[in-house]
Amino acid sequence: MPIHLELNITGMDCADCALTLEKGVGKLEGVTECRVNFATAKMNIGGVEGLLDEAEIEKYVSGMGYGVAEVSERPVILSGWRLAWKATRRPRNLLALIGMILVLSAFTAGWLGLPEPVQIGFFTIGGLVGMYYPARSGWMALRSGQGLDMNVLMTIAAVGAYAIGEYGEAATVILLFSLGEALEGFTMERARDSIRSLMLLAPPEATVIQSCMDCEEHLGRPLGSQTGNAQSDVLSKDPKGLYTGGPCPWCGRHEQVLPVEALSLGDLILVKPGERIPMDGVVCSGRSAVDQSPITGESIPVEKNIGAEVFAGAINQEGALEIEITHLAADNTLARLIHMVEEAQSQKTPVQRFVDRFARVYTPVVVIGAVLIAALPPLLFGQSFLDPPEGHGWLYRALAMLVIACPCALVIATPVTVVSAISAMARRGVLVKGGAFLESLGGVRVIAFDKTGTLTHGRPELTTVACIDECCHETRPRDTAVTCAHCNEMLALAAAVESRSNHPLARAISRAAQQRNLPGFEASEVEMLPGRGIRGLVAGKQITVGNHDLFHTDNGGFHVADCTLYLRRSDVTSRDFCERIEAEESAGQTVMIVGEDDELRGYITVSDPPRQSSQKALAALKQVGILRTVMLTGDNPNVAQAVGSALGVDDVRAGLLPEDKLSAVQALVKEFEQVAMVGDGINDAPALAAASLGIAMGGAGATQALETADVALMADDLTQLPVAIRLGRKALRTIRFNIWFALLIKAVFLAAAFFGLATMWMAVFADMGASLIVTLNGMRLLRGSQ
């Protein structure tokens, strides 16, 4: 039976280490699959039950000089000297430190004038101590089939230097390499901790409100006549009227602090002012403002009252809240966010995949070049193989080239930047699903927006109900509470079919009918007419609710194609009716016409005003280099144009069916290549998929947004989108700089080594220095979360 195991690997400091671990563990007995994510330091292992030995895996990992921790453990985020002290205690780093002390002792011995054998002894012992783990890792890399990794190259270089009498350089090179690896590991742990720290947002314990169950103090006590629900339940079980168990009617409810892992769905928890919410849930009692910025990035606290959804990790500010748990700790919004961010960090960008392929070719080519450089000049031109009295021989130059051949700086240039950028965005409420999407985000030139729920609030409210009867057609009432009986009947019929739809306009009609306490009708055979409306049978009659265009086609069933026919049951001409509708649309109202069988009953208008943040966000997008903004909507052109003009949208395209939106996005991609589509993540799925980058809105629909599109905005507004694009562009620039910087350093020192100008010390300083510089440069993006 297949089983799965996930482990945290501590102290993993290079991508080559991850690959060596992956291949080595993959060959252990019982292991069918092994994947190591260097960015998140996680190892996922698949195996056969009964054969997979976790202890053997941990022993192998420890033998490589790394640590193992259970994924379920709550992380402890260290900083400063504490993190450095923890890193020092790793066996690999501890041996490097001991070796460094011995090498310094060798130099001290030379300065004190001690005999040369003493210096050589210190160098030899120090080098051997420092070489243990690099040599062991290199051997395992060769055995696993990985080939020449940096540990192999450094070991060969150190042994070769020792063989030609360069004892000091041999020991120093291997120890500087180990020191550089330790510093890289230290900085990568800092980057990983930026996302691990999100796990600490939700408290480990919760205050649970419970009834006293099976109270020993009151067992057998007579129940009084004035019993509550709990007492009635007990009475129904015990005819004698004695308390025999269950909820205690005297003790009532009490509070108990429990670990979040011990909670169950439906449990009731209490969150006091100033406390963090420990679990996802729904407010059952109380009212308060909740700071959701740790989850959604929203800067303004959100009012929460009965029925409102709350997220684990958010901060309760003003009043006490009683919350019913809807998701367990392992499945709440924060846990899913962390899991998806870690998955995203493991997804390689196209640039990173290219660099990995390049590194696999680059290292063997340089090694072969080093062998030829060591052999050909002495063989063909009689030049010195070993070091002459002045300068360096060709063997020494070849060894220096081996040191420079390590592709560490190249390989680490992209992952550290991706980890930092994705972590920074997650802290601002922007979830990027992978490195490839981060790269796309940085290259976006044009952004298309859905209107309803994206640029607008997505909660339309009813503004007008007007039937075709004489009482309504001469004026257009704006007070929706003042309507005739026919209007109310029409609204009730429309609400019956719209109740089967989850479209924001449908919900507006349903809410209005409920607020007026109108009689409810059952609808059957309901049919969605995408981009146009909906229809179904209500009380034996076909009720159609849709936009103006629907009623000017045969598909609507009304055949009112030329606006010259008279409407039945009224002396209002269709031209008058259409003019009234067009006037409503010109005023920025969304109009839905209601039909009954082959007759028109009237129309309903709703208004969905733009979000206050939308105009600011669109202006900010221009500042970060977006060339063009486009609004794609199924609404009528008048309403769309009014919204677009108010927000400053460059291109407004209205009256679009879902397939029209898809075609529009495809055309934009063909013209501009890098195009993002922003929508609700559900209704705009085809258009989101067709875009170079699909961006879903979160907010109340954060759960759905997490599962759809390439990027999810956890907050229900667009204010973080310009920030995300700016950070994406910065990430691209950083990746390119890191790669070109690493290549330049390699090229300069390869040339210097060839001409005998570079020592092995200089080579290892250049290699490790370049790795540290690109790592620290990538980590600068973590400041984007501040």
Sign for the CA dihedral angle at 383, 386, 391, 392 comes to: positive
Sign for the CA dihedral angle at 706, 710, 714, 715 comes to: negative
Structure tokens given for 534? 């909906």
* Strands of 430-432's sheet in order across: 430-432, 711-713, 693-697, 675-679, 446-450, 628-632, 651-653
Determine which helix (DSSP H) or strand (DSSP E) holds 251, and give its type and residue range: none
Q: Which amino acid, 669?
A: V
* Strands of 302-304's sheet in order across: 302-304, 288-291, 315-316
Helix axes 435-443, 350-381, angle to 10 degrees: 100
Query: How is 212-244 classified by DSSP, letter by letter?
Result: -BS-TTTTTPBPPSS--HHHHHHHHH-TT-B--
Residue of 701, 714, 717, 709 whose CA lies nearest to 647: 717
| DSSP 8-state assignment for residue 701 | G
- Active-site option among 450, 684, 716, 767: 450
CA dihedral 558, 561, 565, 571 (to 10 degrees): 60
Q: What is the three-class DSSP state of 691?
A: coil
Structure tokens given for 727? 């950070």
Sorted by sequence, the CB contacts under 8 Å of residue 347 that are 6+ apart come out as 433, 434, 435, 436, 437
Sorted by sequence, the CB contacts under 8 Å of residue 368 that are 6+ apart come out as none
| DSSP 8-state assignment for residue 247 | B
The span from the CA of 676 to the CA of 668, in Å, is: 10
Sorted by sequence, the CB contacts under 8 Å of residue 441 that are 6+ apart come out as 432, 676, 693, 711, 724, 725, 728
Active site residue 450: yes
Structure tokens given for 642? 């009014």
The span from the CA of 33 to the CA of 27, in Å, is: 9
| Residue whose pair of structure tokens reads 């004026």 in the numeric block | 475
Burial class (CB in 10 A: 0-12, 13-18, 19+), 115: exposed
The span from the CA of 487 to the CA of 494, in Å, is: 10
| Residue whose pair of structure tokens reads 């075609």 in the numeric block | 663
Helices (H), 499-636: 504-515, 574-586, 612-623
Sorted by sequence, the CB contacts under 8 Å of residue 99 that are 6+ apart come out as 126, 127, 128, 129, 130, 131, 171, 174, 175, 178
Catalytic residues, by residue number, are 450
